[in-house]
Amino acid sequence: MPQGPRGNRGPGAAAENRAALVAAAREVLADAGFDAPLSAVARRAGVGQGSLYRHFPDRLSLALAAFAENIAGLEAAAGRADSTLDDLLALLTEQAISATAFLDMLSGHAEDPRVAAMSERVTAVLAGKLPAAQRSGRFADHVTPADLLMAIGMVSGLVARSPAAARRATAERAWTLLRRGLQGRDIQGCAPAAHE
């Protein structure tokens, strides 16, 4: 629930204010998308807009901070020995369903060096799991990490334009179609499922 500004509590509150802004941005951007009003973030965090801009000079810097947790979660999942490429694609799909702004940010601001660095981290994670997935026959030998990022972007774009209630079904259908190309043969595909 949105809060009102808590007043100026001095420099000692800076870390607390920043954490509140990041948490609020995660919620607001997940609900309203990347272009959500920043005033809504400040209200949800219970701080004034001046505080928001002291910590985050632009929308992108706020979004990067809000979604750093997504990248960290992806890297942590990739670090597990038993995780697969399908697990990572499933996690990215869940992130797209729950917060379309995350992948919108990655695809819509690729020229920004900060976003490029985040995209490189996602690419590195996918690249680390791709060879095993190719050896197992789940993905064709011609598939590259860039192809996977493109597929994720396509799914994300469809999900972002779907009503919230239809996002999961849309993602599953998109993966069914994309799997055919990623597997290199015309077989019935499915949405990436968590590794069991």
Summarize pLDDT for 70-125 with one digit per residue, the tens: 899 999 999 999 999 999 999 999 988 887 777 667 667 778 898 889 889 999 99
What is the pLDDT at residue 74? Answer: 94
Give the whole-angstrom CA distance, residue 80 versus residue 173: 28
* Cβ pair 77, 61 in contact under 8 A: no
Summarize pLDDT for 3-53 with one digit per residue, the tens: 554 554 555 678 899 999 999 998 898 777 788 899 999 999 999 999 999
What is the pLDDT at residue 195? Answer: 46
What is the pLDDT at residue 172? Answer: 94
What is the token pair recorded at 109? 């601001």
Residue type, 164: A
